[in-house]
Structure 1
């Protein structure tokens, strides 16, 4: 169900022209998954079986400090434009250009398969082909919108009628492979944006995939968090600056649950794991197709998630357990806290649990030490300058007479090549009044309705020791920088965010009923 997280396939560009560069410039495949936790993949410490992504990691590069915007649409907006999401209002505002538009102008075939969740239509924003659904969540078996029940599935601009054997993760990959096959006939490089909805709720998975995980989560979230953290230490994902954050104080120890409460909660994680497993299977299908056609070596794959694990409880079908098409569940903060091991908090928050994502880069032509790790700090706004460098493209100052906002990121290419990045501009976050600024190793962060917290990430990657009282000058300086940025891009400034009521979206099931 969550077969592709996010893969970028790159090949080096060195000359100008279209057909003459078809075999020189990289194909670009972006795969993004939805609501994946930092520790869910095997190569990031998880127990879920992800052999295909693990293989990409063993032949590629894993990032331990790559960030998104902590929310679905907002991440997609920055991913496509290289701007802070407030600057485009999820593509509702003018003044932006997309990766697809820049790459099509550079001679690439451009294709998208999967979840759009932005204003407009992909074919109006630079894509030659599109298959997927236009909204933010859909039934994995019927393709119907999760809220309205409408059919928002599209093949290009036409309504797509879902067949009886449909499952989104498989179908998105089917069309991605079809589009690539068509693009190969054009003697030009291609760009694929594959946006999976897995493992976003509703928790839907195929019976054979679910069966693999029956019983694996019976030990509960506390024990599995410990196991994941030990594996992360062994893999080198975490070092001495990463402590295992305490269990979210809202959550009870797993050992205190009754048997009926465990039987209510455990199947949700089993189905979630099955969704991640199915995502990995589909990553394998795509990579196999690239390899069979001789494209893989000329491809860079970047795989990541749109935000951290999701804490939103959901149970619309109490008489039908999670998994089948007529069920409607999301797990709550209990399992999300585990999936984000070793971080605090979740999707929507500016803390690391909201924005830190696995990123796997696969590019045989450039990665000098396959299987390595990098702690270079990056954000999804960095994809635009990365693509431009790899495709020998040009970021426009205007498009169709409309001025374009300057790109906000830096290229990933030096990091992928193993070169050190001496400095980068600050990174900012703001969604629903949760907000932060990252400057070097300092991170100033606040939940909505609360005051600033300050963390020295060189000593405390998991944000467990607030040092704001010890460094008031740093708090003051970074706060001023954040507010200046917020004013520039029309984000919520700290004083206004502090007056906002606490979020109601980190919810827990009422276990007294079970």
Structure 2
């Protein structure tokens, strides 16, 4: 593994004029940019060479946003980690590292703020896109309002071609159907091409993938891994672009890593075998000291205690230490693998002569996650349903951690290590939740290479910075829709001036947890689900002097705290933070009446593309039936009629050995109901009826031509989230819900299915 990599190119392709570079420098040092309104990036070569008009020419610089998921502040080697990340290190060495850059506490709000340059609440994305709270909560619709044009829409007006790859998570999950609606998908938000997934996460080896506006099946591809495939596609986009298009491009690479499920080829896990046997206390202290050596944190920073509930490593049993070390080996391996993919992308930019003319910004969408719980997780459906995973179950999966046979996430002790030097986690407004690495690589605009910038900045400032560097004035209207003002503030000047001031004020809120930053001070309101907001306790930190939020000054500085609370109220009103809600996992139960998922009857037909779970019939905690008219010539024609989910959770309705079977996979137990008679051939109608008998419990009965032929109790169903894999008709796509198909793979039905009818008990 190379330790030092240089991206500099002696034969770089220069696509900006000297006058253009001077203009960029002028913008960056606070000089007034020339009026560029009405000009486009697709100026002809003759115009570019016309010296009399050089001052009017906008730079034709490419833009690349690289966003990692759930990456902690210290997980890159250039930010203090022992994990090998030589490719991002090289970008840091030849660019700038920001050590006071902030994002939102969860992913969708960060991504919305990044693409629009506005506060997430104001654009309709106050929380994750899974939670569409309906018209009464315009700040929580799981989509970007048309009044907030994305950078792809704005730069599209300037002649750019835009490519989005990887995680989207900016459209309501209930809209993730093969037939749309598409207006909130990437192509509906200004991007010209898209390859990735629409929801919060997907399996790395067998993902649910969308290519442009179509779902595609990648299960037949050998040695497929999503991060690799995403970069392959990104490089193909760039190759095609530079070969046939003289305009600049915008590209966003949104990795699924380091979000669960942590899955990576075995050799990357093996790289770290034994590396973490010392445990999280030792590794966290080592990262803390390394961060000081690097200048990432000030010498005055205090080392915080372990978060509540995290035991000392030395107090763990040998079995726990073995298991927990394996989780971190897989996490580190995934990070190195991701770093290699970033390297492949950057090397491709260099090989086609575009690296020196591309602004690259690398960041995380929030801090490392606490969802792994105290012991870690191998089944993230159980995690999302707040169902514990005991040591016996975890140890059974020890060798599967990091592979495609588990959906892994590390325990909380390692999450705090990722978030070094800070306390707490993602989804909080402590620095651990909202402070992110930011690497800016821009050979034509950064001369102060390898330096660290400590200006306070927020993710909503990124796109305004790009607009300033490009000399772009966002339009007042897009497609006839009047645009709201940008909320972010450009930090372009800091690229060349280390002494420039940072952002002065920034508001945060996530499911009732909130904070306000102002001129080096920060106040935090900690909210408990179900408690009145007005009773929330507030904390106060002078973060300019106390980087790790070690000294709560709420009692010592009551006047300052009251001043900060009033400022929060002002900013919250200005940026549509209100009305607040305190969503926990019950946010998954929000199904607005204006969504297709709110229906009580669905009819699906054979050969339908796989339907993501979040857009499937909403059967949680209610009675429902599945009816399938079918035809068979022979009693040997078996197979799946309908299935949703995979090995970690879901349900399946199928015929095997001429018996009708319904199985419900909780993740820690599979409930099975089988017919007590064989199934006749010819035209037959089969049915599964689930009758709810209590909260998340009920009876499943199966019928053939109206006659009950089997029944059984299902003692537990999922309270919040059924699965992370979708619904298939006539087969069980991707991973299989049950091992009881035998060696049949997707177990495609050999007869004929007329249709599949879901009828659900009304919730009105």
Q: Which runs of 5+ in 2 are unaligned?
A: 1-14, 24-35, 49-58, 126-142, 172-183, 380-392, 529-535, 588-764
Is the Cα–Cα contact under 8 Å of residues 25 and 390 in structure 1 kept in the other structure?
A: no
- Counterpart of 1:107 (choices 138, 159, 165) is 159
Is the Cα–Cα contact under 8 Å of residues 370 and 411 in structure 2 kept in the other structure?
A: yes
- 1:84 is matched with which residue? 119
Deviation, 1:141, is: 0.2
Is the Cα–Cα contact under 8 Å of residues 152 and 250 in structure 2 kept in the other structure?
A: yes
- Cα distance in 1 for partners of 2:367, 2:341 equals 21
Report the aligned-residue RMSD.
2.1
C-alpha spacing 1:481/1:18, structure 2 compared with 1 (3 Å): same
| 1:278 and 2:337 aligned | yes
- Cα distance in 2 for partners of 1:97, 1:264 equals 46
- 1:365 is matched with which residue? 444
- Counterpart of 1:67 (choices 85, 96, 102) is 102
- Cα distance in 2 for partners of 1:21, 1:395 equals 22
The number of residues matched between the two structures is: 484
Deviation, 1:181, is: 1.4
- 2:412 is matched with which residue? 333
TM-score normalized by structure 1? Answer: 0.90
- Counterpart of 2:80 (choices 45, 48, 59) is 45
Is the Cα–Cα contact under 8 Å of residues 116 and 195 in structure 1 kept in the other structure?
A: yes
Tell me which protein shows more strand as a share of its residues: 2
Is the Cα–Cα contact under 8 Å of residues 367 and 418 in structure 1 kept in the other structure?
A: no
Deviation, 1:95, is: 1.8
Higher relative contact order (CA 8 A, sep 6+): 1
* Deviations 1:32-77 (CA, angstroms, capped at 9, x unpaired): 0001111111111100000001111111100000011021111111
**Aligned to 1:366, what secondary structure does the other structure show?**
coil
- 2:572 is matched with which residue? 486
- 2:308 is matched with which residue? 249
- Cα distance in 2 for partners of 1:329, 1:92 equals 31
- 1:93 is matched with which residue? 145
- 1:466 is matched with which residue? 552
- Cα distance in 1 for partners of 2:561, 2:423 equals 21
* Deviations 1:154-187 (CA, angstroms, capped at 9, x unpaired): 1111222112321111011111111111221210
- Cα distance in 1 for partners of 2:72, 2:410 equals 13
- Counterpart of 2:479 (choices 379, 400, 403) is 400
**1:420-499 paired onto structure 2 within 5 Å:** 420-422=499-501, 424-449=503-528, 450-492=536-578
- Cα distance in 2 for partners of 1:54, 1:310 equals 23
Deviation, 1:234, is: 1.0
Is the Cα–Cα contact under 8 Å of residues 86 and 490 in structure 1 kept in the other structure?
A: yes
Deviation, 1:339, is: 0.8
- Counterpart of 1:192 (choices 251, 265, 281) is 251
- Cα distance in 2 for partners of 1:178, 1:502 equals 40
- Cα distance in 2 for partners of 1:501, 1:282 equals 35
Which is worse superposed, 437-446 or 480-489? 480-489
Deviation, 1:323, is: 1.4
Is the Cα–Cα contact under 8 Å of residues 448 and 496 in structure 2 kept in the other structure?
A: no
- Cα distance in 1 for partners of 2:502, 2:227 equals 38
**Aligned to 2:544, what secondary structure does the other structure show?**
coil
* Deviations 1:425-478 (CA, angstroms, capped at 9, x unpaired): 411111111111111101111221341111111210110101122222221121
Deviation, 1:401, is: 2.7
Is the Cα–Cα contact under 8 Å of residues 383 and 409 in structure 1 kept in the other structure?
A: yes
- 2:203 is matched with which residue? 139
**Aligned to 2:499, what secondary structure does the other structure show?**
coil
Deviation, 1:105, is: 0.8
TM-score normalized by structure 2? Answer: 0.61
| 1:128 and 2:197 aligned | no
**Aligned to 1:20, what secondary structure does the other structure show?**
coil
**Aligned to 1:315, what secondary structure does the other structure show?**
coil
**1:314-333 paired onto structure 2 within 5 Å:** 314-316=377-379, 318=394, 319-320=396-397, 321-333=400-412
Deviation, 1:92, is: 4.6
- 1:218 is matched with which residue? 277
Which is worse superposed, 121-130 or 156-165? 156-165
- Cα distance in 1 for partners of 2:502, 2:458 equals 14
- 1:161 is matched with which residue? 217
Deviation, 1:89, is: 2.0
C-alpha spacing 1:275/1:462, structure 2 compared with 1 (3 Å): same
- Cα distance in 2 for partners of 1:478, 1:366 equals 37
| 1:355 and 2:434 aligned | yes
Deviation, 1:87, is: 1.3
**Aligned to 2:494, what secondary structure does the other structure show?**
helix
Deviation, 1:403, is: 2.3
* Deviations 1:210-269 (CA, angstroms, capped at 9, x unpaired): 110111010000000111111111111111232221111321100000101112211111
**Aligned to 2:461, what secondary structure does the other structure show?**
helix
Is the Cα–Cα contact under 8 Å of residues 456 and 504 in structure 2 kept in the other structure?
A: no
- Cα distance in 1 for partners of 2:43, 2:271 equals 48
* Deviations 1:118-172 (CA, angstroms, capped at 9, x unpaired): 11210010001110011110000000xxxxxxx3x11111222112321111011
Tell me which protein shows more helix as a share of its residues: 1
- Cα distance in 1 for partners of 2:272, 2:240 equals 37
Q: Which runs of 5+ in 1 are unaligned?
A: 1-9, 144-150, 506-514
C-alpha spacing 1:425/1:236, structure 2 compared with 1 (3 Å): closer
- Counterpart of 1:118 (choices 130, 148, 170) is 170
- 1:260 is matched with which residue? 319
- Cα distance in 2 for partners of 1:93, 1:109 equals 22
